[in-house]
Amino acid sequence: MARSPRWGLSGPPQETHRHWAEEQEVIGPGLQAVMLWSRFVVAEAHGAVLSDLDGNEVLDLQGAGGVNSIGHAEPTIVAAMTAQLRTWTAGAFGSQARLDMTRVLRDFLPDGLDRIQLYSGGAEAVEAALRLAKSVTGKYEVLSFWGGFHGKTLGSLAMTAGARKDLGPLPGGFMSAPYANCYRCPFKLRYPGCGFACVDHAREVVKQQSTGALAAIVVEPVQGRSGNVVPPPGYLTALASVADEFDALLIVDEMMTGFGRTGAPFAFQHEGVEPDIVTVGKGMGAGYPVTGVIASAETMDSAPFSDPSASSSSFGAFPMACRAVETTVSVIERDGLVERAERLGKDMLAALAPLAEEAPLVGDVRGAGLAIGIELVEDKESRRPVSTAVVRQAFMALLEAGVLVMTGGNALRLYPPLNIDETQAHEAVDIIRRTLAGLPGPAAGAEQTAGGRL
Ligand SMILES: Cc1ncc(COP(=O)(O)O)c(C=O)c1O
């Protein structure tokens, strides 16, 4: 594969592998597959560029799975976090950082969703959203969707696909229905002729399986782990009306999509639907572990969620977290990054779309803003998902050529920073196109190894 002049891995990864091996003497197993495959060790990170210990540079479109919204080491956040570190770090009393965050969020949060409670992990926020839905409705059942990802704690795991094997029993009260994944429609229908058969089916699942205690429908506006699957317009609105029919809440999990990633401040705003609860995280803190539950004041004022100490957590709303949110949102607004994500995302998607024709492995290319998915299939006719070995082979080929991506099942996922330099974005697209177009289909590639670094 022809290498671009600056990006990519060259030479044996000596220092990197020595470092990785020493870490593994203490670190437990089960890190993300892409980390285990690549054994990449970051020496320095700036914007969308990662340098490893052997002096290689790659374009980071993995972006910590959507966390790296404003670029690594963005100067404004470096300065703000450094100053905050010197001021106060531990405790959730009132602080200048929290007041500053409040002022910024007052403008950024959607109308009618003007209260936030902060946490430090995605699954933790999702669990808090479930507790809030139970508090509001006095009910306890939940409907979620095939292919969804909401975390790995007990309640969130019961809504998460592909991570539950051998971890049963899962808690009761959780039902699931097919997502509006048109590339893999289980009803073999086409939008719009289908009339949202998947939503009708979801309604039927509740009718047949519920004990009459549906508290919430939990849905991602774009399914991240399944490869940034974008449902057709009107899907969230249709689900909102199902939630209404059962007197349940609509929880939109924007962990991956919130804070500009899809070209709107929040992805549900593409539709004008009004969710009751929104969960957020990842891109809102630019790398600092901060997540949140957003709702109206009225929704959040429901006991027991609203009782003293009931919705708090050890690290929730610590000063560093508040400063991270305040600064990240300020940078997103100052630099017009929501609009940029929409425009650049459209350009990148248009440039990558031909892969569905020209690359033997690529079945579908889709996305919203700067959340782009490339689904790998055994053949374009059957659409059978490729094996993990083939995903790994594609991932390693891209890394060696200079682009680090995220994976999810049989898909490659791209999450560049919202402020990625345009030249770098186009270089990344060129590398991805060249590399994937040059990879053989699974049958021809079966004998090939997974890449030279393992
Ligand atoms: C939509 C969504 N919800 C929840 C989570 C869980 O977040 P965490 O891994 O921080 O627990 C994720 C993580 O990727 C996610 O994408």
- 86 CB-near residues (< 8 Å, 6+ apart): none
Q: Which residue has the tokens 């910024």?
A: 104
Whether the CB of 149 sits within 6 Å of ligand 1: yes
Would you say residue 4 lies in a domain?
no
Whether the CB of 147 sits within 6 Å of ligand 1: no
Do 65 and 191 lie in one domain? The reply is: no
Do 323 and 402 lie in one domain? The reply is: no
Per the CB < 8 A criterion, the answer to whether 63 and 287 are in contact is: no
Would you say residue 453 lies in a domain?
no
Do 307 and 161 lie in one domain? The reply is: yes
Do 36 and 163 lie in one domain? The reply is: no
Spatial strand order of the sheet with 371-376 comes to: 362-368, 371-376, 411-414, 406-408
Do 323 and 352 lie in one domain? The reply is: no
* Cα distance between residue 322 and residue 302, in whole Å: 24
221 C-alpha vs ligand 1 centroid, how far in Å?
13
The three-class DSSP label of residue 352 is helix
Do 276 and 407 lie in one domain? The reply is: no
Would you say residue 432 lies in a domain?
yes
Do 90 and 158 lie in one domain? The reply is: yes
Per the CB < 8 A criterion, the answer to whether 269 and 342 are in contact is: no
* Cα distance between residue 136 and residue 38, in whole Å: 45
282 C-alpha vs ligand 1 centroid, how far in Å?
8
Do 256 and 184 lie in one domain? The reply is: yes
Whether the CB of 402 sits within 6 Å of ligand 1: no
Which residues in the chain show pLDDT less than 70? 1-4, 443-454
Q: Which residue has the tokens 């939008």?
A: 191
Instruction: Look at residue 444 in the predicted model and tell me its pLDDT.
Output: 62
Q: Which of 317, 334, 351 is the last residue of a domain?
A: 334
151 C-alpha vs ligand 1 centroid, how far in Å?
5
Do 265 and 356 lie in one domain? The reply is: no
Full residue range of the structural domain in which residue 403 is found: 14-70+337-445
Q: Which residue has the tokens 């920073």?
A: 417
Instruction: Look at residue 120 in the predicted model and tell me its pLDDT.
Output: 97
Do 39 and 89 lie in one domain? The reply is: no
125 C-alpha vs ligand 1 centroid, how far in Å?
9
Number of domains in the chain: 2
| CATH number for the domain that contains residue 169 | 3.40.640.10
Instruction: Look at residue 13 in the predicted model and tell me its pLDDT.
Output: 82
Cα–Cα nearest to 280, from 288, 270, 268, 290: 290
Sign of the CA dihedral running 198, 201, 205, 206: positive
**Cα within 13 Å of Cα(125), Cβ side:** 30
**Cα within 13 Å of Cα(357), Cβ side:** 4
Q: Indicate the pTM of the whole model.
A: 0.96
Instruction: Look at residue 217 in the predicted model and tell me its pLDDT.
Output: 99
Q: Which of 334, 358, 373 is the last residue of a domain?
A: 334
